[in-house]
Structure 1
Amino acid sequence: MKITAIPQLYRNLKRWREILAVLQRYGLADWMSQFQKLPFRDRITDPAGVPLSNYSREQRVRMALTDLGPTFIKLGQILAARPDLVGPKLGNELKRLRADVQPDAIEKVRATLTKELGDGYLDQFQFIDHQPLATASIGQVHRATLNDGRSVVIKVMRADIEKTMRQDMEVLAGVAQLAERVEAFAAWGPCQMASQLSTMLQRELDFGRERQNLEFFAEMLADRSDEVAIPRPVRSLCTRSVLVMDELVGQTLSEFLHDASDATQRVECKQRLSEIIAGVYLTMIFDAGLFHADPHLGNLLLLDDGRLGILDFGMVGRIDETLRETIEEMMGCIARGDQNRLTRLIRRIGDAPPTLDESSLAIDAAEFVGTFGRQSLGDFDLTGALNELSDMLHRHAIKLPNQSALLLKMLISLEGTLRELGASFDSLQIVQTFVRKSMLSRLSPKRRIRQARRIYMEAENFLEIAPDEVLTLLQQARRGEVRMILEHQRIGPTVNRMVLGLMASAVFLGSSLMLAMKVPPVLFQEASLLGIERISLLGLIGVLASVAVMMWLLLAINRSGHLTRNNDD
């Protein structure tokens, strides 16, 4: 850890202790769960009195994140969208994370509104409900009525949440630095992952982004306003910490599915909703390249006027032409059974570690193609295929870019929603349309002209700067200023072992001299049974310690596979 991080560590010492206490509690329960006959195995329990060892490891991770507070709950919700990082099993468990937090008192809400909207903000409203409509880890929502009679909801950021999350992210960055030193975790790039999660959290803490998303999607879906409704924000009353938008009146699809009303009407309504949802999300992907990333049943509403309402635009995903083309090729490889090309595309679309086992990845790709490439159109299991792909990426430590991971997560969630609604059309229709539109886009003259223009501009820029760069390089070479820097990626552990070995040798030599000179304090003042007498205690300790260090170094080098020449890479 860097010296500059010491003040940060001291500042967050209390939070470090809280986090370590929670991790120690759940970590100990995880260890005890492996021993069924351990006498004190059931001593650690949850608030309901159920032993933590009775839960699965994934459930304990979710419970630990819940105990750690709002920041870690939000992080868990973000990681639930990254099954390539945490695996499908843990990802599914993390989807159950809900922020079980007490709402802020109305006085704190008023203080935030005054700070963001000014002292006269009440002049804009006829009524503000003191009881929150919904509470989450970052904010809470209150019903209100504007002076013109418009029914709205006010989303207010929780008091001090930015300070709390900033502190927790500093702690998380420190944990990531420690994890980088563990070889098993280093392959995942904990520091880079923590940085990405921090960026995503910062975006969640800016309601201005959600307001922009609401306006963009409302404009994009304006021609489908008779089928779908997006809450319209009140721009004059929106800030970084406050979001005022239309109230959508209706019931969530989760409530609709449990509503015991007329069966015939419900079947017709579910079929209509399924077609609208599929059409809307295809429009998002293909026409705008920007999509609502969390289409689960709680974020989709059946409004009183029969339209589909969509909530929560805090997290959206983007898809560019390169990603479209890569996914198109991947689907073609699955259909043709070309596992070699699929393996190369998986490596292209993700960030593969240096230690990737190519042969093992090829075998998994062949198994994937053999399982899903032979399924008929009507029997194709899209969710199973996407989950299997995520599991394969996780096993080989291949990290997807955020946009690719969000797309996978959105498709899985979308098909689950359509399945809950009992959609009669095949789920693969989404992917087929995706591929077909991508192919048409790639062959369109408009795209070719745009591509040619981009290539021309890049070539023109290169021709402009290349002569100057070459002249600069020649001048530096003439003055002897050209330097070559070589970096050995794994030289750090080698140097550390070398320094430790030299130190152990020096201690051994010094301790041997102390033994020879009988430096006090000494053991065995008189001759023992073996004739041993006047042994220097400090010298004996130094010899034993240095021998132990050298044996540890020998074992470590042997484990790394570089003890002899035959083990060299």
Structure 2
Amino acid sequence: MKIEALARLERYTKRIAEIATVLGKYGLADLFGGFKYTWLQDRLKSADGQSLTDGVTQSARVRMALTELGTTFIKLGQMLSTRADLLGPELTDELSQLQANVPPDPSSVARATIEAELGQPIEQLFASFEDTPLAAASVAQVHAARLHTGHSVVVKVRRAGVAEQAATDVEIVQALAELLEQHSPSLRSYQPLAVVRQFRRTLLRELDLTYERQNQEEFGRNFAEDPTVCIPELFSELCSHQVVTMQRMNGLIGTDIEALKQSGVDLGEFAKRGANMYLEMVFRDGFYHADPHPGNLFLLPGNIVGVIDCGMVGRIDEDLRDEVEALLFGVVENDSELVAEQVLRLGSVPADCSRDKLRADLQEFMADYTGHPLNEVHVGAALSSLVEIIRNHHIVLPPSLAMLLKTLIVLEGTSRRFSPDVSLAALMQPYCTRLMLRRFSPGRIAKRARRSFRVWNRLLTALPRDITDMMARFRDGSFTVHLDHRHLDPIVNRLVLGILTAAIFLGSSELWSRQAAPLLYGVSIFGALGYAVSLFFGWRLMRAIRKSGNIQSKD
């Protein structure tokens, strides 16, 4: 893996130089201090060897560096902002502010992309097309247009060259992640390789606008009967992998708080409708819009909630739904034992995790919220505290659950931005009650029983065959046991080096004391050379021990 990672890095030397320059500029080169590749280390420094942003927190410097590095790294930061269980609240809060600060592609480039994708001139596709984009983000930009039928639409166009640049950057990021896992103990616990692999899958889906169109169509079907929600209508004949054409929202965007207040609309009701829409997505459909930012919401006439930008979504499968329901049941029953058990079942748990300490921390956490009126409970703060407890015990949550928790945290912040009186906890109560009733309904119990029966049936069917096979191997002498001695090679190498050093030292002492020829000023030349070699080997051995921390280290 090490050779492959280095080969990939060598292929993209120019881009790596740009990345290294930005890291040095923002004083982030120390993150790669464990690398032992001189050609890379030389680039991880600013011109004067100092940080150019003294007085700025490291989290803010990470955000600024990712912004400067462009689309791929902005998307990486946005994905990492959902992983408070890995990075902690300070860094994830900073990454949540990531916004692309990029100039739009020239209108001629956007027009050429649309015509190439849809196979007709712009004039035949649209009655009018605005060359100045309404908005430009890291992946795509949006232009206003009007169809020949009179419909007012927006056309989302993928930026030119973004896919090619992303492919290069992902290769580099994956190679760096492999090296980080090997050489940077401080970052190894963040599982950089697993994070990058998940990011690769997510980014490829976001770059293909077909997935966004499919997501939007599914949301449209789910809310077709809800008069309080508007999902923009899509015009499929004007969509492709790089172009999406949809109905234009004629309303007020959620980021324009002053205009919302001056509209005279009941913002409390608007906030409740928006929050209920997301809760329906999560608890009813198991398929939700994962970016409840105010910029993705519109206030439409009639106090209707409009939703845009369906590229980032989350899904809750049946297994995760069951585990989350059990977790909520434990919280409702104030059962710290059950909550701790569910946290351990949901996450990746280190071998040295103290279950008693986890249970005690969770009991203290639940005591802080027990007995309080629902309108006084801040879901975002509660979930953030829960994630912090999980992180302190070095438990890594599955990405789907981490995204769900992040969505609920952001959702509460967005709701309170529209109306401080809105309580997400109170709005969630009927959904949680519905979950509990559904969990213990005869249908769900029967379904779980059928699933358990299938599992036990497979086990009981395979067990006799496996035992017979094992006994047959045992009888004919082909039964083998493989032991994996992890980290044994460095220990053996140090032991051999120590024995060799001692042997050379003793042999040299014998030559020196007997004045074995040839002599120089009465000193045995071979004895002196042996002393020098044994001192060098001894120095190397002590240096290796000091770098590992202690003589018993396995690293």
TM range (shorter): 0.7 to 0.9
CA contact (8 A) 1:29 1:53 kept: no
TM-score (norm 2): 0.85
> Of 383, 392, 395, which aligns to 1:395?
392
Matched, 1:298 2:299: no
CA contact (8 A) 1:144 1:152 kept: yes
Once residues 463 and 359 of structure 1 are traced to their aligned partners in structure 2, the CA distance between those partners, rounded to angstroms, is 35
- The answer for the alignment partner of 1:14 in structure 2 is 14
Once residues 325 and 548 of structure 1 are traced to their aligned partners in structure 2, the CA distance between those partners, rounded to angstroms, is 58
CA deviation after TM superposition for structure 1 residue 119, in Å: 4.5
Q: 1:425 to 1:100 in 2, by over 3 A?
A: closer
- The answer for the alignment partner of 2:434 in structure 1 is 437
Once residues 345 and 205 of structure 1 are traced to their aligned partners in structure 2, the CA distance between those partners, rounded to angstroms, is 35
- The answer for the alignment partner of 2:164 in structure 1 is 163
CA deviation after TM superposition for structure 1 residue 325, in Å: 3.8
In the TM superposition, what whole-angstrom CA distance separates every residue of 1:99-149 from its partner, at most 9, and x where no partner exists? 001111223223322332225464222122111111111111111222222
Q: Which amino acid aligns with 1:10?
A: E
Which residues in structure 2 correspond to 1:453-532 (within 5 Å)? 453-455=450-452, 480-488=477-485, 491-492=486-487, 494-503=488-497, 506=500
Q: 1:142 to 1:261 in 2, by over 3 A?
A: same
Q: Which amino acid aligns with 1:197?
A: F
In the TM superposition, what whole-angstrom CA distance separates every residue of 1:278-299 from its partner, at most 9, and x where no partner exists? 3322321232111111112111
Once residues 300 and 273 of structure 1 are traced to their aligned partners in structure 2, the CA distance between those partners, rounded to angstroms, is 10
Once residues 423 and 108 of structure 2 are traced to their aligned partners in structure 1, the CA distance between those partners, rounded to angstroms, is 51
Q: Which amino acid aligns with 1:153?
A: V
- The answer for the alignment partner of 1:147 in structure 2 is 148
CA contact (8 A) 2:327 2:339 kept: yes
Which structure 1 residue ranges, 5 or more long, are not aligned? 32-40, 519-524, 564-569
Matched, 1:190 2:192: yes
- The answer for the alignment partner of 1:330 in structure 2 is 327
CA deviation after TM superposition for structure 1 residue 333, in Å: 3.4
Task: Report SS of the residue matched to 1:53.
Answer: coil
In the TM superposition, what whole-angstrom CA distance separates every residue of 1:224-283 from its partner, at most 9, and x where no partner exists? 1x3211112221222222211111111112214455626xx34xx212212311332232
In the TM superposition, what whole-angstrom CA distance separates every residue of 1:398-422 from its partner, at most 9, and x where no partner exists? 2211221121111111111221222
Task: Report SS of the residue matched to 1:222.
Answer: coil
Once residues 155 and 476 of structure 2 are traced to their aligned partners in structure 1, the CA distance between those partners, rounded to angstroms, is 66
Q: 1:454 to 1:533 in 2, by over 3 A?
A: closer
Task: Report SS of the residue matched to 1:372.
Answer: coil
> Of 423, 426, 445, which aligns to 1:448?
445
CA contact (8 A) 1:73 1:98 kept: yes
Matched, 1:364 2:361: yes
> Of 370, 373, 377, which aligns to 1:373?
370
CA contact (8 A) 1:274 1:423 kept: no
Q: Which amino acid aligns with 1:220?
A: N
CA deviation after TM superposition for structure 1 residue 69, in Å: 1.7
Once residues 355 and 250 of structure 2 are traced to their aligned partners in structure 1, the CA distance between those partners, rounded to angstroms, is 53
CA deviation after TM superposition for structure 1 residue 428, in Å: 1.2
- Corresponding residue pairs, total: 533
Q: Which amino acid aligns with 1:206?
A: D
Task: Report SS of the residue matched to 1:130.
Answer: coil
Once residues 70 and 533 of structure 1 are traced to their aligned partners in structure 2, the CA distance between those partners, rounded to angstroms, is 68
CA contact (8 A) 1:505 1:546 kept: no
TM-score (norm 1): 0.83
Once residues 346 and 480 of structure 1 are traced to their aligned partners in structure 2, the CA distance between those partners, rounded to angstroms, is 44
- The answer for the alignment partner of 2:204 in structure 1 is 202
CA contact (8 A) 1:140 1:157 kept: yes
- The answer for the alignment partner of 2:539 in structure 1 is 548
CA contact (8 A) 1:257 1:421 kept: no
Q: Which amino acid aligns with 1:15?
A: R
Once residues 108 and 501 of structure 2 are traced to their aligned partners in structure 1, the CA distance between those partners, rounded to angstroms, is 66
CA deviation after TM superposition for structure 1 residue 180, in Å: 1.3
- The answer for the alignment partner of 1:34 in structure 2 is none
Q: Which amino acid aligns with 2:539?
A: A
Which residues in structure 2 correspond to 1:21-170 (within 5 Å)? 21-27=21-27, 52-120=53-121, 122-170=123-171
- The answer for the alignment partner of 2:284 in structure 1 is 287
> Of 336, 352, 372, which aligns to 2:349?
352
Once residues 237 and 537 of structure 1 are traced to their aligned partners in structure 2, the CA distance between those partners, rounded to angstroms, is 85
- The answer for the alignment partner of 1:277 in structure 2 is 274
